A and B are shown apart, each in its own frame.
Chain A
Amino acid sequence: MHLDAKIPSGPLAEKWDKHRFELKLVNPANKRKYNIIVVGSGLAGGSAAASLGELGYYVKNFCIQDSPRRAHSIAAQGGINAAKNYQNDGDSIWRLFYDTIKGGDFRAREANVYRLAQVSNHIIDHCVAQGIPFAREYGGLLANRSFGGAQVSRTFYARGQTGQQLLLGAYSSLMRQVAAGQVTMFPRREMLDIVVINGQTRGIVVRNLITGEIESHGADAVVLCTGGYANVFYLSTNAMASNVSATFRAYKKGAFFANPCYTQIHPTCIPVHGTYQSKLTLMSESLRNDGRVWVPKTPGDKRPPNQIPESERDYYLEEKYPSFGNLVPRDVASRNAKTQCDMGKGVGETGFAVYLDFADAIKRDGKEVIEQKYGNLLQMYEKITASNPYEEPMMIYPASHYVMGGLWVDYNLMSNLDGLFVMGEANFSDHGANRLGASALMQGLADGYFVIPYTVGGYLAGTSRPEITTDHPAFTEATRYVTERTRKLLSINGKRTVDDFHRELGHILWEYCGMSRNDDGLLKAKTLIQELREEFWENAVVPGSSEDFNQSLERAGRVADFLEFAELLVMDAFERKESCGGHFNEAYQTEEHEAMRDDENFCHVAAWEYKGDDTDPELHKESLVFENIELTQRSYK
């Protein structure tokens, strides 16, 4: 099967304009005849639902939390990139495009990434118009800071709460459309299946998390904005409810899953400290603007940090990467932290931590300046660890944070299933094998505010769809399937909790498919996952009933999906015989232990097609064609 990305012809910089002209339009009077389902209310889903409502479509928006304002985008701390060049430091759309492609280790589509850089500036304009209180200079203009993988200052921010502010902006626009009657909200609903009729995606089946009722909803198109699957590692910086279920169920209905092995391990998180721990907390990458990363030069040096003299400290990132220093991309920073700890130079009780030190910045700028820039982050650190980062260096260690993989989409953000659009972290499209800091917010909002309003119209105007109702047998069948699955989960009656299975799955993946991977480990992981999955369906205990508010049942469904999905992730990692970005196979590295790509054989998107529970999925490849930039060994020296 040929995967057609539908990339418009013509010069890179003109593709999106040309495509927008060529896309068919739906006239204003006809828009109100169409219903669109948006699943998820984060930056991608919230902005899409609001923008589509503004255009006149009828939108049904579903979210898993009690209010759309709580989607996990809210936890993004550091900022959002845009190519404004307000700092006069040499930024441009081309540079943002180039940095993003290079940051992704040349495994993303040129055309998508260029469009992302193009619309980045409109996002900032729109967000300011919505009343988002971005940080400003004394003169009243917008302030910027730097993030990893860039040598310009292009990141806009609202203290350490940028995601919160951008999400509340999208949420306010969404609420305005709810008030206008264009959007209907369905909170506390979990999508359990999509409904495909005659090859077209025509609806979803959801569980009402309060009553347990299974509901069917039909539409002309379905937009999935259901986030990423970093929680497959159990411990991650994601919210507790973040899951793979929506995208995985779509995969089982025929949507291709692309590059599942591209997972991002974020370098600056608060280290693991106990088995009871439910999640890990990120410390924004922006801290690396002023914080210096170091470990003792001598392995096993257990002296407190302030007793280790300057000459006995190893500022390994500054040493090894003089031009980017502490601001190397995330995959590079994480792997280096692991290398130092594996050498015995890690600090703290467990030895799995490195220092992030603000002493020099405080000496240079004063405590007030540092507090103004990072106050809420440093306060959060102190709350969790009971250690004062103004007085002793923070301890940090990498943790699962984000996933670049997701459902395959074309240039229109439509999956291989007609009428199923996928946006934000749920798709695979823009970050290649590694995402740069402050680019997730940019992508989510680009997709929702500035891409889907055009491309969904092109789809609706360009196809015909028969009238359907939710009485259609396809809805009945989907309802039967999810009801049966729920019944099965509740009747296992075993002796081990769902969380315990999840914890073990996380250990397997972190050990064999985390920051560093090898073929033997991946094969072992595959077997371990299969065994664990088998045990789950025989020995898990899921209390309560299906007709009630039952959080144990919700978790069980998600973990059951993770147990299937994890195997796909491991298979994808096994098949990619190269190292690139977040996927590091030990057999493929340079002499300096950097990721070594194989452009001849692996310059492609790996898109997996589900073939049944007892059959291996089929791999399809979309070749990545680079017409505008030259593929090079990534260097941040």
Chain B
Amino acid sequence: MTKNINITLKVWRQKGPHVKGGFETYHASNISTDMSLLEMIDVVNEQLTLDGKDPIAFDHDCREGICGMCGAVINGRSHGPEKGTTICQLHMRHFSNGETIVIEPWRAKAFPVVKDLVVDRGAFDQVILAGGYISVNTGGAPDANSIPIAQEIAELAMDAAACIGCGACVAACPNASAMLFTGAKISQLALLPQGKPEAVNRALAMVNKMDELYFGNCSNERECEAECPKEISISNIARLNREFVKAGLVSVVK
């Protein structure tokens, strides 16, 4: 049932990438438990605006958990305590009256802070442009049904393709590794017959790019899988590793 609660917020405020940041405390009262966490921040920001203060900057857009724009560490966990949920879908009914909520940006060398809770995730685009595609130009594709794909393979590819690129996996990993993000794309394309011709170069190029961008390596902590709002499986990292090793063996490009 809907009720209203009072909460205390400790929010990371940082004016820019090269400025030292720190926590500020805010009180939010009469918060309906039907609100999402972002709607609660909207309420706080409305008050800050009326008080002549700078509202909290945070990224958000679709507010239905699919665009991947929002994301923050809530009480030490990427996207907060609920499993399989982005913060735009994290409702205040999961918090109790009088609780203190700590909100911080993703922290990773590859994701510099832009302002407050906003980070620059451009490194993810860099990883994709290293090879996260099938090289096919518009026009000239054969009839869509000319390549039958077993239903379970299509479903596995879809499981991997569900990644929203929010960065929670990187923020959750003690090494700030992007293996789950990269593994999901490599898996999706390696599973499908259309992706096989370029599988070797793709795995090498994407993994090398990831290293270059200061993402750390995977040491099997499994934090990424636990915090992923789309519940992308860590088996995609295993598939990435297989593809990478295979690529190292068969690649003609050294």
The residues of A with any CB-CB pair to B shorter than 8 Å are 47, 50-51, 54, 65-70, 72, 74-75, 84, 86, 122, 124-142, 158-159, 161, 164-165, 168, 171-173, 175-176, 178-179, 185, 187, 210, 239-241, 273-274, 276-279, 281-282, 379-380, 383-384, 386, 449-450, 453, 495, 497, 499-500, 541, 543-544, 548-549, 551-552
From known contacts A54-B137, A67-B125, A541-B49, infer whether A141 and B62 are also in contact, taking CB-CB under 8 Å: no
Taking a contact as CB atoms under 8 Å apart, the answer to whether B114 and A380 are in contact is no
From known contacts A124-B144, A386-B91, infer whether A161 and B52 are also in contact, taking CB-CB under 8 Å: no
Taking a contact as CB atoms under 8 Å apart, the answer to whether B69 and A65 are in contact is yes
Taking a contact as CB atoms under 8 Å apart, the answer to whether A69 and B165 are in contact is yes
From known contacts A133-B192, A137-B151, infer whether A551 and B120 are also in contact, taking CB-CB under 8 Å: no
- In the complex formed, the residue of A with least CB distance to B120 is A66
Least distance between A264 CB and chain B CB atoms (Å): 18
From known contacts A124-B144, A134-B154, A551-B57, infer whether A278 and B149 are also in contact, taking CB-CB under 8 Å: no
- In the complex formed, the residue of B with least CB distance to A156 is B144
From known contacts A185-B125, A380-B65, A495-B50, infer whether A179 and B130 are also in contact, taking CB-CB under 8 Å: yes
A453 cross-chain contacts in B, Cβ below 8 A:
138
Q: Which 7 A-B pairs have the closest CB atoms?
A: A140-B148, A172-B133, A129-B141, A133-B158, A175-B129, A133-B157, A125-B141
Taking a contact as CB atoms under 8 Å apart, the answer to whether B138 and A449 are in contact is yes
Interface residues as binary, B121-156 with A (CB distance below 8 Å gives 1, 0 otherwise)? 110110011101111111101111101111100110
Within 8 A of A (CB), among B73-119: 82, 84-85, 89, 91, 93, 114-115, 118
Least distance between A455 CB and chain B CB atoms (Å): 14
**B248 within 8 A of partner (CB):** no
Taking a contact as CB atoms under 8 Å apart, the answer to whether B145 and A142 are in contact is yes
Within 8 A of A (CB), among B42-68: 42-43, 46, 48-50, 52-55, 57, 59-68
B132 cross-chain contacts in A, Cβ below 8 A:
172, 175
Taking a contact as CB atoms under 8 Å apart, the answer to whether B128 and A172 are in contact is yes
**B195 within 8 A of partner (CB):** yes
B38 cross-chain contacts in A, Cβ below 8 A:
278
From known contacts A138-B151, A141-B145, A450-B138, infer whether A544 and B66 are also in contact, taking CB-CB under 8 Å: no
Which of A173, A187, A274, A277 meets B122, CB within 8 Å? A187
From known contacts A161-B66, A281-B64, A386-B93, infer whether A131 and B192 are also in contact, taking CB-CB under 8 Å: yes
Could you list some 26 contacts between A and B, CB below 8 A? A65-B69, A66-B69, A67-B122, A68-B125, A70-B68, A75-B62, A75-B66, A126-B141, A131-B157, A136-B149, A137-B151, A141-B145, A164-B66, A165-B158, A172-B132, A172-B134, A175-B125, A176-B133, A179-B130, A187-B122, A276-B32, A276-B39, A453-B138, A543-B53, A549-B114, A551-B57
Least distance between A546 CB and chain B CB atoms (Å): 14
Taking a contact as CB atoms under 8 Å apart, the answer to whether A380 and B64 are in contact is yes
Least distance between A552 CB and chain B CB atoms (Å): 6
Taking a contact as CB atoms under 8 Å apart, the answer to whether B154 and A241 are in contact is no
Which of A54, A66, A172 meets B59, CB within 8 Å? A66
Which of A54, A128, A139, A497 meets B46, CB within 8 Å? A497
From known contacts A133-B157, A380-B65, infer whether A497 and B49 are also in contact, taking CB-CB under 8 Å: yes
| CA gap between A125 and B43 in the complex, in Å | 46
| CA gap between A388 and B213 in the complex, in Å | 43
Taking a contact as CB atoms under 8 Å apart, the answer to whether A383 and B66 are in contact is no
B50 cross-chain contacts in A, Cβ below 8 A:
495, 497, 541
| CA gap between A336 and B157 in the complex, in Å | 40
Main secondary structure of the interface of B (DSSP, over half): loop
- In the complex formed, the residue of A with least CB distance to B127 is A175
**B247 within 8 A of partner (CB):** no
Interface-central residue, A67, A449, A499, by most chain B CB under 10 Å: A67
**B173 within 8 A of partner (CB):** no
Taking a contact as CB atoms under 8 Å apart, the answer to whether A277 and B158 are in contact is no
Which of A126, A172, A210 meets B114, CB within 8 Å? A210
B121 cross-chain contacts in A, Cβ below 8 A:
66-67
A72 cross-chain contacts in B, Cβ below 8 A:
61-62, 67
Which of A134, A140, A175 meets B150, CB within 8 Å? A140
Taking a contact as CB atoms under 8 Å apart, the answer to whether A543 and B49 are in contact is yes
| CA gap between A281 and B39 in the complex, in Å | 14
Interface-central residue, A68, A129, A165, A173, by most chain B CB under 10 Å: A129
Taking a contact as CB atoms under 8 Å apart, the answer to whether B89 and A131 are in contact is no
B130 cross-chain contacts in A, Cβ below 8 A:
179
From known contacts A65-B61, A551-B57, infer whether A142 and B67 are also in contact, taking CB-CB under 8 Å: no
Taking a contact as CB atoms under 8 Å apart, the answer to whether A84 and B62 are in contact is no
Taking a contact as CB atoms under 8 Å apart, the answer to whether A499 and B46 are in contact is yes
Interface residues as binary, B156-175 with A (CB distance below 8 Å gives 1, 0 otherwise)? 01100110110000000000
Taking a contact as CB atoms under 8 Å apart, the answer to whether A175 and B64 are in contact is no
Interface-central residue, B36, B48, B61, B195, by most chain A CB under 10 Å: B61
A497 cross-chain contacts in B, Cβ below 8 A:
46, 49-50
- In the complex formed, the residue of A with least CB distance to B60 is A240
**B194 within 8 A of partner (CB):** yes
From known contacts A67-B124, A240-B63, infer whether A140 and B138 are also in contact, taking CB-CB under 8 Å: no
A240 cross-chain contacts in B, Cβ below 8 A:
60-63
| CA gap between A378 and B118 in the complex, in Å | 30
| CA gap between A159 and B142 in the complex, in Å | 23
- In the complex formed, the residue of A with least CB distance to B35 is A276
Taking a contact as CB atoms under 8 Å apart, the answer to whether A543 and B122 are in contact is no
Taking a contact as CB atoms under 8 Å apart, the answer to whether A65 and B136 are in contact is no
B118 cross-chain contacts in A, Cβ below 8 A:
549
Taking a contact as CB atoms under 8 Å apart, the answer to whether B89 and A383 are in contact is yes
**B182 within 8 A of partner (CB):** no
| CA gap between A580 and B59 in the complex, in Å | 39
A175 cross-chain contacts in B, Cβ below 8 A:
125, 128-129, 132-133
Least distance between B83 CB and chain A CB atoms (Å): 11
Taking a contact as CB atoms under 8 Å apart, the answer to whether B67 and A65 are in contact is yes
